[in-house]
Chain A
Amino acid sequence: MDKLKTGIIAPPGLPAMPARWFDRKGLVQIGLLALLLLAPLAAYLLGHIYYINLASRITVIAMAAVGLNLAIGYGGMVSFGHAAYFGLGGYVAGISAYHAFDFTPFMSWPVAIPGSDSMLVIWLAAILLCGLLALAIGAISLRTTGVYFIMITLAFAQMMYYFANSWPSYGGEDGLPIYLRNTLPLVDTNQPLVFFLICFAGLLLSMAITSRLMKSRFGAALTMARLNDTRLATAGISPYPIRLMAFVISAMITGLAGALYADLNGFISPTMLSWHFSGELMVIVILGGVGRLYGPLAGAILFVMMETLLGGLTEYWKLFLGLMLLCVVLFAKHGVMGWLAGRERNE
């Protein structure tokens, strides 16, 4: 009898109702992507390079936030130190370009490592190093929970910040310029539109990975670790390695964004590692809608537009950012995506 009953009710999709392109959520998502893609194309046709670079800035920051969203939104790990990975990614790009420009080795002992101006090499190195750093920081930080976790991730990021600040070889607190943008085979990365498209591809890829990941078995375990880690442990899966893995992947995405950001600005400095940036990245994730695939993109668009528009009007635009953030936290908890696309439904 019961079997008959179950046959009748068809299971809806997992883990959330899939967005169809024509429903409200689907339209909002496609609209955001189209806006981000078409605006720089229009700017290109009209010859406004500034706006292409602005779109690249939004894209790269959105990608960094996609990384953080995996930790905070999907994994429930409130990392207040993702600037560490963003900055490390940036420094990998900057230092590598510096040595390639100078024809000096990055390291000659125990193994010889030359500099490189190839983005592919830089990206790989940034991803690997950020993964390793996150493995070390996560291994210690994830032994703790709650406020301890927040403060410890913050403290480790500060450690990186002060290290970069006082290490004189790569500019110390003055930072380091990247004289020539790093290169990719076949395309001219100096073209703003080409560089935008590279960033855009990176953003899409990181969102696709997040989406796919969260639908997989790993994602199921991570979701359970966030919602109820006792349930997960009782089922026989230790939450710690699941969380640590998610933390590492999250850092890799943010680190890759950092490498792109360095090339976008042609400059790296300890500011990329500062706790203000960690905080702003969190703000973007929350403004957009925490734990939603398109949240970081919505948040980044809002944040960079505010920075540009309000920042053009007043030097003190962060005062208004602060007031808005306070209102969002106190009164509107679901962020831009919650407001535009409706509440996220589980199953």
Chain B
Amino acid sequence: MSVTLFIEQLINGLQLGTMLFLMASGLTLVFGVMGLINLAHGSFYMVGAYATALATAATGSFFTGLVAGVLVAAAVGALVELIVIRRLYHRPHLDQVLATFALILIFSEGTRWLFGSSPLWLSPPQSLTGFVTLPGGARYPLYRLVIIGVGIAVAIGLYLLISRTRLGMRIRAGESDREMIGALGVNIARLYTLVFAMGAALAGLAGAMVGALQSVQVGMGEPVLILAFVVIVIGGIGSIKGALFGAVLVGVVDTLGRVFLPALFRNFMSPSEAAGVGAALAAMLIYILMAVILAFKPKGLFAANG
């Protein structure tokens, strides 16, 4: 394996990691602050991608489309919170799982009904389609680097928001003591809607950016959602730091595993066998990683609440 290939795949892993972070941070915030497990988070990813694709097609500008996509995802998130989610905060997790599973069915089938089963067309803007020459000589797509940049910017933004602002203070207070924050006179209902919409916006942003890279279609959010679950379980549910760490870990391990495990098995197997075994093991790799981490730390690496 060459160094350039390794660097290239490492960056691919980072890019997957930043996407996962955008998904996982919303999930983990919603769980940390409201105690809610939200399966429908992947639907906001899909909504963001669809809205971006439609708005881009209508206006001809990817950036306008992206802004519209994020706003639509946030609005849909707020609406869902107002209509359904807020009835679930004091319910058992089983009810939360089922209700948000129902939301997935509604969103997925509703989208299929409105826009059909075939993927929508969305591609990165002309200005970002070029390549960048990496140290070592490999040429790497600029757009993927931009995604990583956006992910890092969001991470920094979230950190500043939570550690420096009044809203962040309320979120932290909400995580540690839900009763207390009510006693302080904070409008909890509004805070919850805001946090939920923010999570939906981040998911929508991720969906829009990845949609331009892969394809915009029904069900696109589900694989990412489950990876995001693995991320927050590894990182510790409720912890933003854990989400960041877990996302990068999962992104890099998954990407490198898929590329290098089959190569590794070629050393002592026939190429076709190595491809099969390698691919199968690579697909299981992050789950094995999760199992090992949980065997030692049942509450994840950065457990937020004890």
Contact = CB atoms under 8 A, between A and B. Distances in A.
Give yes or no for direct A-B contact (beta carbon below 8 Å): yes
Interface of A: 72, 78, 80, 140, 143-144, 146-148, 150-152, 154-156, 158-159, 162-163, 165-169, 275, 279, 282-283, 286, 290, 315-319, 321-323, 325-326, 329-330, 333
A159 B280 contact: no
Contacts of B233: 148, 151-152, 155
Nearest to A280: B101
Given A150-B37, A166-B283, A155 B102 contact: no
B226 interface: yes
Given A150-B93, A158-B226, A330-B84, A323 B106 contact: yes
A167 B276 contact: yes
A307 B38 CA distance: 25
B278 to A, nearest CB: 9
B31 interface: yes
A278 B164 CA distance: 42
A319 B233 CA distance: 30
Interface in B92-110: 93-95, 97-99, 101-106, 108-110
- The size class of the interface chain B forms with chain A is 35 or more
A298 B275 CA distance: 45
A163 B101 contact: no
B229 A154 contact: yes
B290 A330 contact: no
11 contacts: A146-B93, A147-B37, A147-B93, A148-B300, A150-B93, A158-B287, A159-B283, A163-B283, A166-B276, A279-B101, A329-B98
B279 interface: yes
A279 B225 CA distance: 14
B183 interface: no
B101 A282 contact: yes
B55 interface: no
B279 A166 contact: yes
A330 B86 CA distance: 11
B109 A318 contact: yes
B103 A155 contact: no
Contacts of A146: 93
B109 A319 contact: yes
B26 to A, nearest CB: 15
Contacts of B232: 151
A138 to B, nearest CB: 12
B105 A318 contact: yes
Given A322-B102, A325-B102, A286 B284 contact: no
A167 B37 contact: no
B294 interface: yes
Contacts of A162: 283-284
A148 B299 contact: yes
Contacts of A286: 94, 98
Contact of A150 (B97, B280, B284): B97
A165 B295 contact: no
B290 A319 contact: no
A154 B100 CA distance: 15
A154 B101 CA distance: 13
Contacts of B284: 159, 162-163
A168 B272 CA distance: 10
B298 interface: yes
B276 to A, nearest CB: 4
A84 to B, nearest CB: 11
Contacts of A140: 291, 294-295
Contacts of B87: 330
B214 to A, nearest CB: 17
A147 B294 CA distance: 14
**Chain A to chain B: the 4 pairs with minimum beta-carbon distance, closest first:** A322-B105, A159-B287, A162-B283, A319-B109
Contacts of A321: 102, 105
A78 B94 contact: yes
A156 B287 contact: yes
B113 A316 contact: yes
Given A167-B280, A330-B87, A147 B95 contact: no
A241 B230 CA distance: 26
B294 A168 contact: no
A144 B105 contact: no
Contacts of B276: 166-169
Contacts of A333: 95
Given A162-B284, A168-B279, A330-B87, 16 more contacts: A144-B298, A158-B226, A159-B287, A166-B283, A168-B276, A169-B276, A282-B98, A282-B101, A283-B98, A317-B109, A322-B106, A325-B98, A325-B99, A329-B98, A330-B84, A333-B95
A165 B294 CA distance: 25
A333 B299 CA distance: 30
A147 B84 CA distance: 19
Contacts of A325: 98-99, 101-102, 105
Interface in B212-240: 222, 226, 229-230, 232-233, 237
> Which residue, B99, B102, B294, has most C-beta atoms of chain A within 10 A?
B102
